[in-house]
Structure 1
């Protein structure tokens, strides 16, 4: 038993060392830094809960809550499209239609493209004058629908979410597809023998059996939606324009901690408080999910 424990520790200790160094230590250091005012150089000034007061009720609160609302909107929209559309596509790919193997590869291809390239590519596609999207709409007689997709405050965030869906949909399709293919064929065959339609089989058999997978994907989407930064940065930059209409907590943190053109607040301590706020949102949901899963497994 002692030999086994030695070998277990041989693998666990290096992993715990790097996890502590790159996850646990930065987390607690950010919490400590959130009680200071610091420009990145020079002495740190202890300010207590002032950063949190500014974030929740001071002049900085408008910027934070505007971004928080966008994060919530981001979560609901990507969940509806990536899980809803992902389920429908997975159902089609699970059928024995000719060409499904090729389509499985095609649907996952966008997920393999580097995100910076996705941002550059779609910024060209969505260009109001020479962009492929508007040119296509004009070519098919729908020129009245052409818009400055990334320049309209009412459309910019939704447009970025759709680009995010395009890029990540393939991952959710493949995960849901794997869950569907794991269902016993005997259940499907029995339902067909009983005269059930494709719709009833999908809704009464396949969907309930894939709910655990949906729960897992939903918590991943929740965590991802409140940590989103790269897609906004790639398409709109750190200013999250136009007029902060695509601002999220990630871009607020970046501007606050590292500065940026037009930043009203530049303070590493205040930026750390924003990261703690994100953690306070994400962590309870993650714990709740683990609790519910373990409770279900114990039954």
Structure 2
């Protein structure tokens, strides 16, 4: 199969490209060539901004893709910019489970939606949840609901992704714990740590993308992906410590005392527990058992630490929180 990937050189997109190439598919990757892009991802690379994809229209026509995977649409305008250039072929689009109203509940401390969430659960009524955040990788008009609306009209399969972890995770989901392990901390402040947030290992999610490419059963539909077993954040933190070989103690402190990078361990009113029944029924997809997935991810991140170091200010914040332990 000839597959055009929009993006395809970061984290999950990179893993999708590697899996497609490994099974013999031909790849054309259109991306910016940013600092996070892996230059050794297999396939032919077209460099430029999404909004300049028309500059590559002749090469895309010549390649004659049989399928498209859009890994990096963040805004409605991201979709509108590429639709005139792309052929009408089976398309898989990566979205997020932040489209659900439950995500608003998690952010605002309100219980807004029952769980587990299905594809028919209420969607967010508020738009642009990160507007004004100043995050360098999240534009003010970031909105996966806008992305979904435009792609679903085109008959694409929209895959709603959970909290994604694994090798090459640029968000480094395990880092709040691992940075303390590296610093030799023996006590780590946590809150209630009762949040249930469906996760997904990058390899399993890549398998889900391939399943959506190979099946037409979900065309024009949104489909949740994620592990079918979810533990609390506190248990996940303990799994990370065990995988790192650390005997550090998780110490309960008041939520208001938590260091910023451990805020996820505070008490919550709304969970993000998601059902993946549709993926199983329509795509024949199921993730591998999560046993061992956390350990695999932790091993990679310990062997590939970030450049940022633990500081005296970090230690002071933890010590201040621990001084308020119950």
Question: With structure 1 as the length reference, what TM-score do the two structures score?
Answer: 0.22
Determine which structure has more spread, i.e. the larger CA radius of gyration: 1
Which structure is higher in RCO with an 8 Å CA cutoff and minimum separation 6? 1
TM-score, reference length from structure 2: 0.21
Larger strand proportion of the pair = 2
Q: Counting helix residues as a fraction of each chain, which structure ranks higher? A: 1
